[in-house]
Amino acid sequence: MTGCDQQQIAIERRLHGDLGDAEAASLEAHLQSCAACRAYQAAARGTEAAMSEQVRAVLHEVDWEKVRRSAARHRAFWREDVVSTTAAIAGAALVGWWLVPAEKLQGRWPVLLAAGLAAIALTAFVARERSRGLEADADPFELLAAYRTRIRRDLTRWRRQLEIYAILPVVALATSVFPHWPDTSALPYLLGISAVVGALAAYDLLVRLPRAKRALADLEPRD
Amino acid sequence: MPFSLDAAAEAAILAGSRGAAAERARAFDELFRALREPVLSLALHLTGRRPDAEDALQEAFLDVHRALDRFRGEARLSTWVYRIALRAAIRVRARRREEARSGAGRPQGDPSAAGGEVEGPGTGGEADMLARLEAGRVAAALDRLPAEQRAVLSLFALRGLGHREIAEILGVPEGTVWSRLHAARRRLAAEVGRAPP
């Protein structure tokens, strides 16, 4: 304590725009005769300037977009589950529509449609509940770690899927066409399956994998 | 650098945060853009290192994002965000200290370099270099202060928050923030090595 505590608090108040004119005049008069308070004022201004400089030096180094993406990431998981399930069911329906004769489907499509919609709804419900369970009161650090684990698991799964996508048409072609060559009546169906599988593989390769890798990079701790 | 949002901007963000997914995303983006720099500034002063400050920034806005639609307006939106940021920065710093003690994680490093590498005489003006050296010295001194003193100094250093809002963020009476700031300033000056007589 210097005996000037009130004046030094007044210095702080003036520095931060909270001192009235009368008090400011009184403080100014005190400062004329008090070296300790002048030193305090200089130190206060100096440290605030230094703290601003510290911030100024790093502001341009921060990847704001990366931080924004990672903070907003947590709503994405359950939606991705729903989109994946919907895409898988749509793909299966397309292949089924192509391969199964129309007369066999007659009268059954409302049931199949209902089953598909129910599967999507169930996936949405389970994914959302799982997401809520993960997020409820979780420490953000643990949550980020859980997101990273989840993305790494997805990446592994999708890479395995890609291997299967690559093998599947070759196996189908080998087992269905070559033993009966030159009867190639199954070829259009195989080409259709290959096209669907190829589209899924391309989606994984060009969209899902790069997006997941970027998300993982966003969520990694800095340094 | 904006420090808080005006009432109309807060109301618009809050309305958006209760809307459809696209509106919620827009509301969050707006809040992030408005407060990211002061939150980083706060985190930098509280943690002492840029990577830790960025981790705290990320964790703070993750918390904001997942709780924004549940915010009921008991305080100003910016006050609420700053409180979350304070908690995040303190948590990150504590975690880093724990990792350093156990020998895991990133090295603690020198907080005097928290503002980045100090430029050599050839890469910037002399005044710039001196300013950065001083910033490093203050950062190192700040690092030795207790968390509550670092918090009050950091909030006032934002130079834009009123003392009422700072009192609310810290959860102390209005009158207390000035005495706390005064005590912290004296301690900081002592740590920097130029304590006022």
Mean pLDDT of each 10-residue bin along chain A, 223 residues long: 82 90 92 93 90 86 87 70 78 74 76 84 80 71 82 86 80 70 69 78 85 84 69
Does A132 lie in the same domain as A47? no
Tokens (6 digits) for B188: 């900081």
Give the one of A39, A67, A68 whose C-beta lies nearest to B197's C-beta: A39
- The conformation of residue A222, written as its DSSP 8-state character, comes to P
Give the span between the Cα atoms of B185 and B176, in whole angstroms: 14
Q: Are residues A68 and A53 in the same domain?
A: no
Instruction: Tell me, yes or no, whether A189 and A83 share the same domain.
Output: yes
Percent of chain B topping pLDDT 70:
85
Same domain, A143 and A42: no
Domain count, chain A: 2
- Burial B28-38, CB ≥16 within 10 A → b, else e: bebbbebbbbb
Whether A43 and A138 map to the same domain: the answer is no
With CA atoms as reference, the chain A residue closest to B127 would be: A53
Domain annotation for chain B: domains and CATH numbers? 7-106+121-192 (1.10.1740.10)
| Pairwise CB contact (< 8 Å): A61 & B197 | no
Is the domain of A151 the same as that of A214? yes
> Do residue A120 and residue A42 come from a single domain?
no
- Could you say which DSSP state residue B118 is in? P
b/e per residue B72-109 (b: at least 16 CB within 10 A) = eeeebbbbbbbbbbbebbbbbbebbeeeeeeeeeeeeb
**Rounded Cα distance, B120 and B140, in Å:** 19
Residue A86 and residue A51 in one domain? no
Domain extent for A31: 5-59
User: A39 to chain B: which residues are within 8 Å by CB?
Assistant: 194, 196-197
pTM, 2 dp: 0.76
As given in the structure block, the two tokens for residue A124 are: 């949405």
How many other β-carbons are positioned within 10 Å of the β-carbon of residue B63?
19
Distances (CA, A) of B89 to A45, B3, B29: 25, 17, 21
What confidence tens digit (pLDDT) does each residue in B4-61 have? 678 888 889 988 888 888 888 899 999 999 999 999 999 999 998 889 999 999 999 9
Helices and strands per DSSP (H, E), number in chain A: 10, 0
Query: First and final CA of chain B: distance in angstroms?
Result: 34
- Residue pair B69/B18 in contact by the 8 Å Cβ criterion: yes
Q: What is the maximal distance between C-alpha atoms in chain B?
A: 59
pLDDT at B92: 92
Of A25, A133, A223, A192, which is closest to residue B49 (Cα–Cα)?
A223
Query: Under a CB-based contact definition with an 8 Å cutoff, are residues B152 and B181 in contact?
Result: yes
A87 and A180 together in one domain: yes
Rounded CA-CA distance B62/A77 in Å is 14
Do A208 and A143 share a domain, yes or no?
yes
pLDDT along chain B (197 residues), means of 10: 74 87 89 93 91 92 87 87 94 88 62 45 66 81 89 88 91 90 92 61
Instruction: Tell me: do A106 and A120 sit in the same domain.
Output: yes
Each residue of A100-146: pLDDT tens digit?
A: 777 777 777 788 888 888 888 888 888 777 777 666 667 888 888 88
B157 touching A, CB under 8 A?
Answer: yes
Best mutation target among A47, A66, A137, A143 (most B Cβ atoms within 10 Å) is: A47
| B29: closest CA of chain A, how far (Å) | 8
Q: Are residues A133 and A78 part of one domain?
A: yes
Cβ partners under 8 Å of residue A6, min gap 6 = none
Q: How close does chain B come to A114, measured CA to CA in Å?
A: 27
pLDDT reported for residue A38: 94
* pLDDT averaged over every residue in chain B: 83
CA atoms of B161 and B164, how far apart (whole Å): 8
